[in-house]
Amino acid sequence: MSSAKNGQITCSKTCILETESSGLVSQTQLIFCLMKDYSAKHIPAKPEVPEPRSWNIKGGFRQLVKSVITLAAIGLVIYGLVHLPGYYSQPINPGKIVIKGNRILTTDEVLSHLRIPKEQSWLDADPFEMSRRLALHPWIEKAAVHRHPDLGLTISVVEITPVSYLQTGDGMFLLSSEGRLLSMMQSGGQWNLPILVDKTLSGLKPGTLIPKHDLAKGFAMIDFLEKNETLPLKNVSEIDITDPLNIQLITIPDAILIKLGSTGFEEKLFNLNLALPRLQKERGNIRYIDLRYERAVVYRNKV
């Protein structure tokens, strides 16, 4: 076995080969040699030469713009942190207060109830507390107050819609569906609503919530007349529930008093419908109609 370095032959194995020819034996020495591997991986690589860099005008301009924007944003943040607290510590600007949703209450009435101090700082104003304060107004169902950056406020209100008037023993109010008394607002105009009369009530003020069971018969009669064709609600001016055992109606335009009692209204108005042809002949001369009798209609003339 032999070897060689630096490009020389390397022999790894020697063997003897015997052959026989004409009765003679001869030996042949075979040498197996390994040649050095001169593949590309053994050839040293040429060093890489970096390509010359060229200036990309578009890319450079974009990078410049990004840098300018970033610096401007940082500058604005710093300016805001330094100057904005002082700016927003100024009082709320009354001329920048916007009120939305008020159809009954005037702008002055909303602001009067809100009670904003003259020197109230915009920064220290509490929109939640203002909203809560407004919601206590008898005419306001919901309210939301929001500040906006020009030292102003946006006030959104949802007003309560009355369903009837309520005449008590000593006053007249508008009434919500929940039984809350509402003041008679001059700015809201007039509503074409029936009048519930309960003269047992007195000493009440706007904002008072009357228990629903005290007005249950009145509300039930309103619902009943809205669906009735013989005596629809639009032809009734008053529903007197002072005596719950004897509910009385006053019609329009003839101002006829109708005595209903406390139950069986559907059957009683059916009897009234049967008697209408006869009653029409006496129209204008009827003082009252009494429907409290079973299967009978009793009426009395004025004279």
Q: Where are the domains of the chain?
A: 10-42, 94-159, 164-301
Question: Do the beta carbons of residue 105 and residue 185 sit within 8 Å?
Answer: yes
Cα(269)–Cα(52) distance, integer angstroms = 104
Q: What angle do CA 110, 115, 120 make, to 5 degrees?
A: 125
pLDDT reported for residue 282: 87
- Name the more confident of 202 and 44: 202
The confidence band for 261, taking pLDDT boundaries of 50, 70 and 90, is very high
Q: Which of 238, 190, 202 is nearest to 218 (CA)?
A: 238
Cα(158)–Cα(143) distance, integer angstroms = 6
- Say if residue 7's pLDDT is above 80: no
Q: Give SS3 for 99.
A: strand
The contacts of residue 100 (CB under 8 Å, 6+ apart) are 154, 155, 156, 157
Cα(197)–Cα(193) distance, integer angstroms = 13
Cα(150)–Cα(99) distance, integer angstroms = 15
- Say if residue 24's pLDDT is above 60: no
pLDDT single digits (tens) 138-193: 889 999 999 988 888 999 999 998 999 999 998 999 999 889 998 876 555 567 89
pLDDT reported for residue 151: 84
Task: Determine what percent of the chain falls in helix, strand and coil, rounding each to the nearest 5.
Answer: 30, 30, 40
Which top CATH class is 164-301?
A: alpha beta
pLDDT reported for residue 260: 95
Tell me which architecture the domain covering 94-159 has in CATH. Roll (3.10)
Which pTM was predicted? Answer: 0.63
- Name the more confident of 49 and 27: 49
Question: Do the beta carbons of residue 110 and residue 94 sit within 8 Å?
Answer: no
- Name the more confident of 32 and 214: 214
